[in-house]
């Protein structure tokens, strides 16, 4: 069979590159839309918490507490699972384009999305272009393959993904293309520039079709807080003062901290909060009373922080073997599965306030309850399954295996010397 002519091979190669560039633009625009939507929900939750707080100067402290906890969780996720995602991500993309580092796209996608959501949604003055650029580059890396010395396609799609992320962040495809050509400085031929332009235009069109053409840069007017609102700001700085360290390391405080962060206590706290607040009488109490509703929200938030503490293990040594964490997450699904199954298969409406409600989609109150139970059942399973899979892959990775072997041999050597 006769081989294809060089011109046909070039056409096929160019067509494949442009098709992949459009696919990168579609994915980058989609993840930018999801990121923007999640940031809007986080802002609504943060501002809604401040509006729903008791009257007076307590509104600002509630918002500050929410922001501090969200930022803390974001830092913990980044430091624990993917430290290379810290910062804007643009220097990491430039380093990858020069083949100094590789882009581990599976973990970069979810860690950058989660960390950026918690940090920006928590109220930090950060732009969303950094996360979208890095996530777009990760998607380009996923479709383009490894960045080997001859991996021109992989390098092109990585840069095109970064530009597509910037184009979606600012609703500006030309700015994304110029960012690739002037800032990244790796695409030097017309077909590379055209691939970047296709990715940026596609990403921007996805963003505009779903979120509209409104300007992406705006300003808000913030009212001047009262003098008493500055007290929580002073208290937030106390842990960073030298006078706080002796208190934090005081044996009674250390014992209480260790007890509160023990995996058994964390699991029981989360299970207790979920099951108790879904008892009909207790649930209806939160529906009737504004104050009890805030107690319910606070207990869920605190129980959630405690539950995920053994999984993330921020700034402390592991209490149990890392292999126990997937088991911990599996056991956490059991009470939620029981509750979800009960709501899904129950023949009567469990919560009286919903009997006279008007659910969406013209469904009855019982059908709405069954749909919510099934949705809770499926979503909880995935929420716990994904971290379990990530942790299992980390444990089975050669680097972690070698490190654990080194630590085990060092421990045995220390015991033999003693």
pLDDT in tens, 67-79: 788 888 888 888 8
d(CA 256, CA 270): 18
Least Cα distance to 386 among 110, 116, 131, 138 occurs for 110
Mean pLDDT of 91-97: 79
Helix H or strand E encompassing 215: none
Q: Give the pLDDT score at 70.
A: 83
Q: Which is higher by pLDDT, 124 or 280?
A: 280
For the segment 289-303, what is each residue's pLDDT rounded down to a tens digit?
A: 888 888 888 888 888
The answer to which of 7-11, 50-54, 57-61 has the lowest mean pLDDT is 50-54
d(CA 367, CA 385): 27
Q: How far is CA 241 from the centre of its chain?
A: 30
Sorted by sequence, the CB contacts under 8 Å of residue 94 that are 6+ apart come out as 183, 184
Q: Give the pLDDT score at 406.
A: 47
242 pLDDT exceeds 60?
A: no
Mean pLDDT of 213-219: 60
- Joined together, the tokens standing for residue 229 give 């609102």
402 pLDDT exceeds 50?
A: no
Is the model's pTM score more than 0.75?
no
- Superfamily name and number for 12-211: Clc chloride channel (1.10.3080.10)
Domain ranges of the chain: 12-211, 247-408
Q: Give the pLDDT score at 401.
A: 47
Q: How many CB atoms lie within 10 A of CB 128?
A: 19
For the segment 262-290, what is each residue's pLDDT rounded down to a tens digit?
A: 888 989 998 998 888 888 888 888 888 88
d(CA 250, CA 235): 19
- Joined together, the tokens standing for residue 145 give 């393959």
CB neighbour class for 247 (10 Å; exposed up to 12, middle 13-18, buried from 19): exposed
Alpha helices (H) along 313-397? 324-345, 365-396
Q: Give the pLDDT score at 268.
A: 92
Measured CA angle at 91 (ends 88, 96), to 5 deg: 125
Ranked by mean pLDDT, which of 93-102, 222-231, 264-273, 393-402 comes out on top? 264-273
345 pLDDT exceeds 50?
A: yes
Q: Give the pLDDT score at 318.
A: 58
- Joined together, the tokens standing for residue 190 give 């017309």
Per-residue confidence at 322, pLDDT binned at 50, 70, 90?
confident
Local structure of residue 228 (DSSP, 8 states): G
Sorted by sequence, the CB contacts under 8 Å of residue 196 that are 6+ apart come out as 21, 156, 159, 160, 163, 176, 177, 180, 181, 187
Per-residue confidence at 236, pLDDT binned at 50, 70, 90?
low
Asked if residue 196 lies in contact with residue 157, where contact means CB atoms within 8 angstroms, the answer is: no
For the segment 361-391, what is each residue's pLDDT rounded down to a tens digit?
A: 667 778 888 888 888 888 888 888 888 888 8
Helix (H, G, I), strand (E, B) or coil at 154: helix
158 pLDDT exceeds 50?
A: yes
For the segment 192-211, what is each residue's pLDDT rounded down to a tens digit?
A: 788 888 888 898 888 888 87
Per-residue confidence at 398, pLDDT binned at 50, 70, 90?
low
């Amino acid at each position: 069979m006769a081989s294809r002519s060089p011109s046909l091979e070039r056409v096929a190669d160019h067509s494949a590159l442009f098709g992949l560039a459009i696919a990168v633009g579609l994915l980058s625009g989609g993840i930018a839309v999801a990121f923007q939507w999640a940031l809007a929900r986080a802002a609504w939750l943060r501002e809604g918490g401040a509006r729903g707080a008791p009257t007076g100067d307590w509104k600002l402290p509630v918002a500050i507490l929410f922001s501090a906890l969200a930022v803390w969780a974001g830092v913990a996720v980044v430091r624990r699972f993917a430290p290379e995602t810290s910062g804007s991500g643009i220097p990491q993309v430039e380093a990858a384009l020069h083949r100094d580092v590789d882009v581990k796209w599976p973990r970069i996608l979810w860690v950058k999305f989660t960390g950026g959501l918690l940090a920006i949604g928590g109220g930090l003055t950060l732009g969303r272009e950094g996360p979208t650029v890095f996530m777009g580059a990760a998607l380009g890396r996923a479709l383009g393959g490894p960045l080997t010395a001859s991996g021109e396609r992989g390098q092109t799609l990585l840069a095109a993904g970064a530009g597509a992320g910037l184009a979606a962040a600012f609703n500006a495809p030309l700015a994304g293309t110029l960012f690739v050509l002037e800032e990244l400085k790796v695409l030097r031929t017309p077909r590379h520039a055209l691939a970047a332009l296709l990715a940026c235009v596609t990403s921007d069109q996805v963003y505009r079709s779903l979120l509209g053409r409104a300007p992406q840069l705006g300003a808000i007017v913030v009212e001047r807080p009262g003098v008493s609102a500055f007290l929580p700001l002073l208290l937030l700085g106390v842990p960073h003062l030298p006078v706080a360290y002796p208190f934090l390391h005081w044996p009674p405080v250390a014992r209480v901290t260790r007890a509160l962060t023990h995996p058994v206590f964390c699991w029981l706290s989360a299970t207790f909060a979920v099951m108790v607040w879904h008892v009909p009488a207790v649930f209806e109490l939160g529906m009737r009373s504004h104050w009890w509703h805030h107690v319910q929200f606070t207990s869920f938030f605190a129980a959630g922080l405690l539950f995920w503490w053994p999984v993330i293990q921020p700034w402390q040594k592991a209490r149990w073997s890392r292999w126990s964490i997937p088991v911990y997450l599996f056991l956490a699904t059991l009470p939620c599965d029981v509750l979800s199954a009960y709501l899904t298969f129950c023949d009567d409406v469990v919560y009286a306030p919903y009997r006279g409600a008007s659910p969406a989609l013209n469904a009855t109150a019982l059908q709405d309850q069954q749909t919510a139970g099934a949705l809770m059942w499926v979503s909880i399973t995935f929420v716990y399954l994904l971290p379990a899979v990530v942790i299992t892959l980390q444990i089975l990775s050669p680097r972690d295996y070698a490190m654990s072997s080194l630590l085990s041999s060092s421990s045995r050597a220390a015991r033999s010397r003693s």
